[in-house]
A and B are shown apart, each in its own frame.
Chain A
Amino acid sequence: MPGNEFPLFTISPLLSVILVIILSLSLFFEQKAENRKKDFFVLLFVFIWFALLLFITGLSADRLSDPDNTIQRISLSAGFWFSLFSLYILLFCKRHYLNAHPLIKALFSGGTLFFLLLLLLNKTFDSLSLMKEYTNNSERFVKELINHISIAFTSVGWGIAIGMPLAIWAWKSRRVEKAVLPFVKLVQTIPSLSMFGLLIPPLSFLAANVLFFKRLGISGIGDTPAIVALSLYALLPIVQNTYTGLKQVDEGVVDAARGMGMTPLQRFLSVEFLIALPSILTGIRTAMVQIIGNTTMAALIGAGGLGIFIFQGLGQGAMDLILLGAVPIIILALIADSGMNILQTRIRKLLLFDRNREVRSI
């Protein structure tokens, strides 16, 4: 849809000047600060920038909006999204290298989220079309968000339930290894859209002819093909990481475990599996992030999820509807990623990994 462009400085010159001053100040301090404190300063400025950017955006939208004009829409331009994106990269890179107490680190990332929430509750963004799309769709948004999460997590759950035993089997048997690893790699190369299409005939057949599957509510479209396809995609990272993790267990360690009189099951549970666990978790983490993104396609076969907004937005050329779907997906993926990161760090610590070395994991 055509529209008018409003650069920031035409809306509120004062605020733009403040932004520029802050930017110069941050550059100045970045140059001046001692090396040790550099990261901290950059983070601080990123935080201020982030807060100001959001605040100014909301304020400018308010100024531009005309309460009498109901079909007026105020969208954010590419400049805003680029700024947000670069700030995000800066925040996470610097946070990662910041040599500070974990609490301070958490404060920086938690603080940004908290501030965003505060502005949302304060209705600062309500004049923006993105928020208007949300208000118009709020009920459906919550439903599809939950739907998206449940499809993604169910698929990853199946991926773990099938992938891990498969990987263990491949690790135990040469012949299975030769079949399983190429298979999961092959699956990964099938485009998701054609995968959904490929699954419709067999699933419809099963639903129509086997009572058991019918009772389970399985059908050619809807949740079932989505979850089947996504579980298949989840297999590669999970199978590969579980398999490599187990393969990497030192031969001497296995020999010692055998020689000490552990039964094969004891050996697997208390030695091999635990040593492979960090690698397995990496696989699950990759699968999670990937599947949360891939679940978008589930909307195409009637399974719902946030993809609905994206495809609807694409169909209507409504950029903000697309964002209503895309932004939460990104945030979901980030939350899943950092949640898994915290879990991994804890487990690595419990398993005494990274002792005696300072290893930072992203």
Chain B
Amino acid sequence: MIEFKEISKQYNHNTAVDDVSFKIPSHQFCVLIGPSGCGKTTTLRTVNKLVIPSGGKVLIDDRDIDDFPLTELRRKIGYVIQTIGLFPHMTVEKNISVVPRLLKWSREKIRRRVSEMLELVGLNPDQYSKKSASELSGGEAQRVGVARALAGDPPILLMDEPFGAVDPINREVLQESFMRIQRELKKTIVFVTHDMDEALKMADIVAVMQQGRLIQFDTPLNILSQPKNAFVKSFFGNDRVLKRLAMMNALDYIIDKESGSALSYTVEKEETFSLKDALTRLLEEQTETIRVKDVRSGKTGLITLEMIKQFAVDDDSG
């Protein structure tokens, strides 16, 4: 668990972070989001003490981070940044093994760990371990950056716009593969971005910041359905309703009702069918009901246009 306790940071009378408090439960994926200059990166960097707060404390598992020796603390926290910062004079293998070497692991263990990490991020160890950073594409370099951050098996991972410099197509691939990694490893992650689609897609919990203040700290769904103020509302855009529908799994909302002439849709394995997908199908076919069937559970039921309308107005105060 990471707890931010009344964190503030001033730079020459400019307040970058202003009295921010929140708790990230262990194994959760927390996204810090907000417009540039809102203090999200500064907040992130207080965790591994790259920024020393002017006021307040950061606690990891209820222990003040000041109680840990600095290098020890940092070696237990993986760190990925937008510019990646791969060491240009080291091979991919050496880059990944930096923290294990600092932790004085045995040579054999390090070697195995490097291959393991490369495979985890989807790069073939035989092909990549001897390459230099300059021989990698942007996406490959960022994968190596993630592998390097995870190599020391840290319980916490800090990621500062890690996919920001990657083109949109590759970014989506990286997001998907990183989410797969997270499902496997269950790290506690603090992730900074200004891309709200990225935030909504990846986060378990979102911290929205503006001008150094924490505005709202909630699940993506709640942030969409109950935005705390006009800023949050406008930040997540006019298509908030659609975004929310996109996050709701249709199978969770089907009702057991008979309907003769309904449109039908079968949800295959590994597939998700959201309320937004259902709405799209309904609009495409100009009809009011769709029968959804789940291949995995064999469950079947109806989604109606009327229901979707209900969800869309739900909780939205205006």
A interface list, Cβ under 8 A from B = 250-263, 266, 271, 274-275, 351-353, 355-357
Knowing A255-B81, A356-B134, the reply to whether A261 touches B75 (Cβ < 8 A) is yes
Q: Which of B71, B81, B82, B88 contacts A275 (CB 8 A)?
A: B88
Given contacts A252-B84, A261-B74, 19 further A-B contacts (CB under 8 A): A250-B83, A250-B88, A252-B82, A252-B85, A253-B87, A254-B85, A256-B79, A259-B50, A259-B81, A259-B158, A260-B99, A261-B70, A261-B102, A275-B87, A351-B89, A352-B134, A355-B132, A355-B135, A356-B134
B120 interface contact, C-beta 8 A: no
Q: At the interface, is chain A mostly helix, strand, loop or mixed?
A: helix
Q: List 14 A-B contacts (CB under 8 A).
A: A252-B84, A255-B50, A255-B85, A256-B84, A257-B87, A259-B48, A259-B74, A259-B77, A262-B71, A271-B87, A271-B89, A352-B90, A352-B133, A355-B132
Contact between chains at B99 and A352 (CB < 8 Å): no
Name the CB-closest residue of B to A355.
B132
A351 proximity list for chain B (CB < 8 A)? 89
8 A-B pairs with the lowest CB-CB distances in the bound complex, closest first: A256-B85, A252-B83, A261-B74, A259-B79, A252-B85, A261-B75, A352-B132, A351-B89
C-alpha spacing A119/B312, complex, angstroms: 97
Contact between chains at B86 and A253 (CB < 8 Å): yes
Knowing A261-B73, A356-B135, the reply to whether A256 touches B89 (Cβ < 8 A) is no
Contact between chains at A256 and B81 (CB < 8 Å): yes
How far is the CB of A245 from the nearest CB of chain B, in Å? Answer: 12
Which residues of chain B from 64 to 100 have a CB within 8 Å of any chain A CB?
Answer: 70-75, 77, 79, 81-91, 98-99
A256 proximity list for chain B (CB < 8 A)? 79, 81, 84-87
B82 proximity list for chain A (CB < 8 A)? 252
How far is the CB of A357 from the nearest CB of chain B, in Å? Answer: 7
C-alpha spacing A355/B90, complex, angstroms: 11
Contact between chains at B102 and A260 (CB < 8 Å): yes
B158 proximity list for chain A (CB < 8 A)? 259
C-alpha spacing A208/B224, complex, angstroms: 86
C-alpha spacing A274/B91, complex, angstroms: 14
How far is the CB of A282 from the nearest CB of chain B, in Å? Answer: 16
A263 proximity list for chain B (CB < 8 A)? 71
How far is the CB of A81 from the nearest CB of chain B, in Å? Answer: 44
A-B contact count (CB 8 A): 78
Contact between chains at B81 and A261 (CB < 8 Å): no
Contact between chains at B132 and A356 (CB < 8 Å): yes
A251 proximity list for chain B (CB < 8 A)? 83
Q: Which of B81, B87, B90, B99 has most chain A Cβ within 10 Å?
A: B87
Contact between chains at A260 and B75 (CB < 8 Å): yes
Interface string of B93-111 (1 = CB under 8 A from A): 0000011001000000000
A274 proximity list for chain B (CB < 8 A)? 89
Interface string of B114-140 (1 = CB under 8 A from A): 000000000000000000111100000
Name the CB-closest residue of A to B83.
A252
B86 proximity list for chain A (CB < 8 A)? 253, 256
How far is the CB of A174 from the nearest CB of chain B, in Å? Answer: 16
Q: Which of A252, A256, A266, A275 has most chain B Cβ within 10 Å?
A: A256
Q: Which of B72, B79, B88, B132 contacts A260 (CB 8 A)?
A: B79
C-alpha spacing A271/B132, complex, angstroms: 15
How far is the CB of B66 from the nearest CB of chain A, in Å? Answer: 16
B134 proximity list for chain A (CB < 8 A)? 352, 355-357
Name the CB-closest residue of B to A253.
B85
Contact between chains at A261 and B89 (CB < 8 Å): no
How far is the CB of A307 from the nearest CB of chain B, in Å? Answer: 41
C-alpha spacing A262/B72, complex, angstroms: 9
B88 proximity list for chain A (CB < 8 A)? 250, 253, 275, 352-353
C-alpha spacing A52/B87, complex, angstroms: 52
Name the CB-closest residue of B to A277.
B89
C-alpha spacing A250/B134, complex, angstroms: 13
C-alpha spacing A353/B74, complex, angstroms: 29
How far is the CB of B250 from the nearest CB of chain A, in Å? Answer: 42
How far is the CB of B96 from the nearest CB of chain A, in Å? Answer: 11
Name the CB-closest residue of A to B133.
A352
Contact between chains at B75 and A275 (CB < 8 Å): no
C-alpha spacing A291/B50, complex, angstroms: 44
A257 proximity list for chain B (CB < 8 A)? 85, 87
Q: Which of A260, A271, A355, A357 has most chain B Cβ within 10 Å?
A: A260
Q: Which of B72, B74, B99, B133 contacts A258 (CB 8 A)?
A: B74
A260 proximity list for chain B (CB < 8 A)? 74-75, 79, 98-99, 102, 148
A261 proximity list for chain B (CB < 8 A)? 70-75, 99, 102
How far is the CB of A266 from the nearest CB of chain B, in Å? Answer: 7
C-alpha spacing A70/B70, complex, angstroms: 82
C-alpha spacing A253/B141, complex, angstroms: 13
C-alpha spacing A352/B132, complex, angstroms: 6
B84 proximity list for chain A (CB < 8 A)? 252, 256
How far is the CB of A209 from the nearest CB of chain B, in Å? Answer: 49
C-alpha spacing A228/B73, complex, angstroms: 48
Contact between chains at B85 and A250 (CB < 8 Å): yes
C-alpha spacing A275/B90, complex, angstroms: 10
C-alpha spacing A352/B89, complex, angstroms: 5
Name the CB-closest residue of B to A256.
B85
C-alpha spacing A254/B50, complex, angstroms: 11
B89 proximity list for chain A (CB < 8 A)? 271, 274-275, 351-353
Contact between chains at B83 and A258 (CB < 8 Å): no
C-alpha spacing A274/B90, complex, angstroms: 10
Contact between chains at B50 and A266 (CB < 8 Å): no
C-alpha spacing A255/B158, complex, angstroms: 13
B77 proximity list for chain A (CB < 8 A)? 259
A353 proximity list for chain B (CB < 8 A)? 88-89
C-alpha spacing A252/B160, complex, angstroms: 11
C-alpha spacing A120/B75, complex, angstroms: 64
B48 proximity list for chain A (CB < 8 A)? 259
Knowing A261-B72, A261-B73, A352-B132, the reply to whether A266 touches B81 (Cβ < 8 A) is no
